[in-house]
A and B are shown apart, each in its own frame.
Chain A
Amino acid sequence: MATKLEQSSETSAVLKNDIAIMIGGQGGDGTLTVVNLLGRVFRDFGLNIYDARNVLSRIRGGHADGVIRASVKEIHSVGDEIDILVAFDEEAVLAGLSDLSDDAIIVFDSSKGPLSENAKRPGFQIYSGPFGNMAASALRRNIFKNTITFGILGRLIGLEDSMLRKVLTARYERRGKEALESNLKALELGLEFCSKNISGTRYLLPRLPNSNRILSTGNEAAAFGFLASGGRFFIGYPITPATDIMEWLQPRLPKFGGVVKQAEDELAVINMGIGAAYAGARVMVATSGPGQSLMTEGVGHAGEAEVPIVVAECQRVGPSTGEPTKNEQSDINHVVFGSHGEFPRFVIAPGSANECFYLTSMALNLAEKYQLPVFLLLDQALCQNSVSIEPFDIHSIAIDRGKLLSEEALAKLDVYKRYEFTDDGISSRSIPSQEGGQSQVTGNEHNEFGAVSTDRINRLRMMRKRMMKLELAKKDLPKGNNFGPITAKIGIIGFGSTYGPIIESMEQLAAERVEVRFHQIRTIWPLLEDDLHNFIDRLDKVFIVENNYSGQLANLIQRSFPGSDEKIESITKFDGSSFKPKEITGAVLAEIRSNVSA
């Protein structure tokens, strides 16, 4: 049937250590299926992958695309350019146009007509075929066009036909004989198309020894980190891009005696969480900006009542409904400053799926040790993009429940005071069912026993007791990760999903002979001034990279470093997409070169 294409024209094939493929069409075209199939192949090759899905906030229809990148090294970004685009319509080509490399290969479904000239560039290699029509006439369903293109892709990147069949079989055999046969037939149509129309393999991929690497999104990692750290009660309300955390936990927590509760709104979510945490469960809730707006009062309540709770805030484009499925980091001010009144809170920001696991675990400990709300600040790209990483080291988890009293310890006390003044601001905590631990917990200002009080001296002491936690906790909060040579005079600070693009930008800058050091900040509140000083002081210029309009992180850091305005430069992006490494590189080069010429 299909000819052995690989043998006929190996000469034109280029070895790629790093390849990015985009599949685009309308929601419901099965674009993500192709991404998943490719992911399987790349992982079998021992390659690291990173995939990002660009979908609209609707069930079907509208432009949707997915990018999958494979590399010999660990990657945390989609990179700069797309090498191959599979487009099920012209809109998909136009949407991907600015991301395509100059010599990109386009596999275009011409069922609705040929590709217009304005969607073409001189260097593109375009392979058009009526894939949708082919699928409809041979298999009676247009949707099999995605498997046709999977066959074509396989040939273009030098995969053996047998491997393509194996991957399809693995995916479809559980869905019944008919589904499997139809897909295998669609694959043959794709291979036949190649034999007739494409002269050979374009790219060859390296094959590495099988690795034990795992594939995770930040959301999945955070969910597992919660569970493995003794988290048993999760409460949520569906909201993109946070819902995956709830969905990952839903089938798993009950097996550990835990519960996932979907509440009626975020007001209920945070207060149910506070009730359960007060009663002694380890609790996390998750939401995005709009939900956080509703939770803000509750977070302040937890701060005043000293109830430990972790809130995963999965940022998206805001304000209002904004762009639910798009990436932004514009809730820094919201989680650092949001609420009436003043209370201590921590804001922890993981930069990769690995860190989502470990820092969620740490956030739970910090919440209980300091008896306050802890934000886990994530962003859409970090939450939802999949990445190859080292397996989570479950053994490294340490559970610290702080000053949670045992019944024996309570029995030894002459008198128990829930809000007792102590040197470190933290009072012992009893939970209901413990004899002698009865007390009042309240969001009203209160005395040591939890009785409502407006006494002025008491107010001063209680405020200081709570607020001192911010200073005392600094020794326990996660320091930033530093990358790059200590001799560098140029620095970059970023957090969350900008980690991946910044790491790649550093390599690009090194190639331009610009030495750069990168501080991946992991505690956004309270700022660890010493940690930042160590980083910033030895530098001439510091670029703060973040996905928002006003440079919220830069403003926060500048407040702590009076007179640093000259040194600090903002690089912002707020179009709903993540940074490409080259955008950071370009901005840094433009700034330092303009200074040289000036």
Chain B
Amino acid sequence: MIKPKDTVVVGGIGCSGSIHNDLECYGIHSLHGRLLPTAIGVKLANPNLTVIAAGGDGDGYAIGAGHFIHALKRNPSILYLVMQNGTYGLTKGQPSPTAVPGYEGNVELPFDAVMTALSIQDTTWIARGFSANQAQLTDLLKKGIQHANALKGFAFLEVLSPCVTYNDTYKEWRERVFDLDTEKTYSPKSRVMAFTRASELLSQGKIPTGLIYTGELKSLEQNSLTSTEPMALQDISLEANLSKYEPLLKDFR
């Protein structure tokens, strides 16, 4: 049971950025594109917290793309939820990095975040859900949070979430999604298989969904933190630390 008091939802900027407002846990609304560094800062300061970063695809794959790559590489134990809809809805429908050619004058092929995540060797949990398949999405959310809360690393969950106002892709995506969770021969534990199968499906015009990859690697917290006492809660008073500070004066001689 995760308590609201121990949960922080970090919102980005865009329509998705109001997600934390409707929850009873702690919420922090970051700058556009900066929700991942903000969430990583929260997690490192207090790894006992459940940290969920939730933003849109413009936030994560355009203005925040640098942080996305490095979060994948760094493996912080947070759930990163991207609500992907191929458009900048809040500013009324400009093409986002995941827009298809032809949408509002877009001429570029869509950015595929799952393929990007698979190509980074440090990733430990990659999934894609669809807002039209809520049973699967609930399951993935739960698994992603469990992965993060076990301090196993970064749980990346892209959610196909059509913008019904500016880019209603429900009909198209219902036809294109391919649920890997139901494919018996598929194993999310093999990066090679994940890469191969996801590439094949993409070349067939399909969008793979489900738990796509899961692996094991040390998480950011396991690699960086040296104390079991979270930095946010440590006793930093002078009295408690003075005897350990004094020897440091020798470094100045």
Contacts and interface: CB of A to CB of B under 8 A. Distances in A.
B21 A432 contact: no
A399 interface: yes
Main DSSP-derived SS at the B contact region? helix
A283 B42 CA distance: 12
B42 A275 contact: yes
Contact of A431 (B24, B232, B246, B249): B232
A228 B232 CA distance: 16
Contacts of A224: 248, 252
B67 interface: yes
B236 interface: yes
Contacts of B96: none
A442 interface: yes
A432 B38 contact: no
Interface in A221-247: 224, 227-230, 232-233, 235
Nearest to B4: A438
A432 B245 contact: no
A182 interface: no
Main DSSP-derived SS at the A contact region? mixed
Contact of B41 (A257, A275, A391, A395): A275
Given A276-B44, A432-B49, A281 B24 contact: no
Contacts, number: 198
Contact of B44 (A259, A264, A298): A259
A277 to B, nearest CB: 8
Interface in B73-117: none
Interface string A258-271: 11010111011101
Interface string A443-473: 1100000111000000000000000000000
A264 B27 contact: no
Contacts of B45: 233, 275-277, 279-281
A268 B27 contact: no
A232 B231 contact: yes
A36 interface: no
A301 interface: yes
Interface stretch (A198-206, A212-220, A373-381): A212-220
Interface residues of A, number: 67
B134 interface: no
Contacts of B231: 232-233, 257-259, 276, 280-281
Given A432-B6, A434-B5, A438-B25, A257 B46 contact: no
A441 interface: yes
Interface stretch (B150-158, B164-172, B221-229): B221-229
B135 interface: no
B26 interface: yes
Given A232-B234, A438-B26, A439-B26, A220 B252 contact: yes
A431 B232 CA distance: 8
B33 to A, nearest CB: 8
A297 interface: yes
B253 interface: yes
A228 B8 CA distance: 29
Interface residues of B, number: 57
B142 interface: no
Interface in B27-69: 27-31, 33-34, 36-46, 48-49, 66-67, 69
B248 A432 contact: no
B238 interface: yes
B44 A440 contact: no
Given A278-B28, A281-B231, A297-B31, A432 B238 contact: no
Given A227-B245, A297-B31, A278 B42 contact: yes
A465 B18 CA distance: 24
Contacts of A443: 29-31
Given A230-B241, A441-B28, 13 more contacts: A258-B226, A259-B44, A267-B33, A275-B38, A278-B28, A278-B38, A281-B46, A305-B28, A392-B252, A432-B8, A433-B232, A436-B5, A442-B27
23 contacts: A214-B252, A220-B252, A224-B248, A232-B231, A267-B33, A267-B34, A272-B37, A272-B40, A277-B45, A279-B45, A281-B231, A283-B41, A305-B29, A392-B252, A395-B238, A399-B236, A399-B238, A432-B7, A432-B8, A440-B20, A441-B27, A444-B29, A450-B27
Interface of A: 214-216, 220, 224, 227-230, 232-233, 235, 252, 254-259, 261, 263-265, 267-269, 271-283, 297-298, 301, 305, 391-392, 394-395, 397-399, 431-444, 450-452
